[in-house]
Amino acid sequence: MESRNVTQHISQQFNDELETLREQVMAMGGLVEKQLTDAIETLVDMDDARAQKIIQQDTLVNALEVKIDEECTKVLAKRQPAAGDLRLIIAIIKTVTDLERIGDEAEKIARMTLEIFQQEPLIPLHKKHLKDIKNLGKHVIEMVRNSLDAFARMDVDAAMQVAKQEQDVDEQYAALSRQLITYMMEDPRSISSILDVTWVARALERVGDHANNIAEYTIYLVKGKDVRHTSFEKMEQVARGGQ
């Protein structure tokens, strides 16, 4: 009886550790989502103090990546998890890498804002471009939020939604890119400022990729199948299938 209590106790401790890890991933996700939202608002408002803050805060994101990774390694060494628990740890290790890279893209957007701000004379981005970036940003932030929700709730349907959104974001990005090239050709004086918009759009498209990766880890976590590098249809098949 006592030994059973000990087993339960250990298993309860283990559960707590896994729960703490999940909470840390969600906290990191929340911070990254905020960094990205702020970065886009900062670009639109040309707020250089806020851009500085985003750049500084990227070290917090980096520190969380290192910390969570370290704790995952500790849990692996101490608990020797199997099956679903092992998949959870692997999914967490991979998710934090993508979250850190989303943080990097937010930081890049903030650096771009500072660069634009420091130009003499200051030529803020054209309203039309800002509207396009805000639009793309809105979709991408939604993808990040949905991918984190899917991960938190281990919700395969929500993960599939993210994969679907990625197709839309890719199309939106491709259309915007073509448009920007046309603008540059029509008005060569705008090349430098439109290139800045192009880099921001590219950064957002990458964020969408990372959110999609996180959605794929959720499917791996729940279904035990690696759906990276498969078609959308194949993903759907795995998502709908039994475990």
Q: Which residues bind its own copies (CB under 8 A)?
A: 59, 62-63, 65-66, 69-70, 73, 76-77, 80, 82-83, 86-87, 90, 93-94, 97, 181, 184-185, 188, 191-192, 195, 226, 228-229
* Burial class of 236 by CB neighbour count within 10 A (0 to 12, 13 to 18, 19+): middle
Minimum distance, C-beta of residue 47 to its own copies, in the bound complex (Å): 25
Closest distance of CB 1 from its own copies, Å:
28
- Separation of CA 89 from chain center: 18
Residue 127 CB, nearest approach to its own copies (Å) = 22
Specify the amino acid at residue 161.
Q
Query: Closer to its own copies at the Cβ: 53 or 225?
Result: 225
Q: Which is nearer to its own copies, 55 or 158 (CB)?
A: 55
Q: Biggest alpha carbon distance in the chain?
A: 81
Give the Cα separation of 190 and 59 in Å (integer).
Answer: 34
Which stretches of the chain are DSSP H helices? 2-45, 48-79, 83-117, 127-153, 156-186, 191-223, 232-240
Q: Whole-number minimum distance, CB 177 to its own copies, in Å?
A: 9
Residue closer to its own copies (CB basis): 41 or 209: 209
Tell me the closest approach of the beta carbon of residue 23 to its own copies, in angstroms: 21
Quote the least distance from Cβ 20 to its own copies, whole Å. 19
Q: Which is nearer to its own copies, 66 or 153 (CB)?
A: 66
CA distance 71 to 161: 30
Interior/surface letters 100-112, b for 16+ CB within 10 angstroms, e for the rest: bbbbbbbbbbbbb
Of 69 and 142, CB closest to its own copies: 69
Cβ nearer to its own copies, comparing 3 with 80: 80
d(CA 26, CA 149): 9
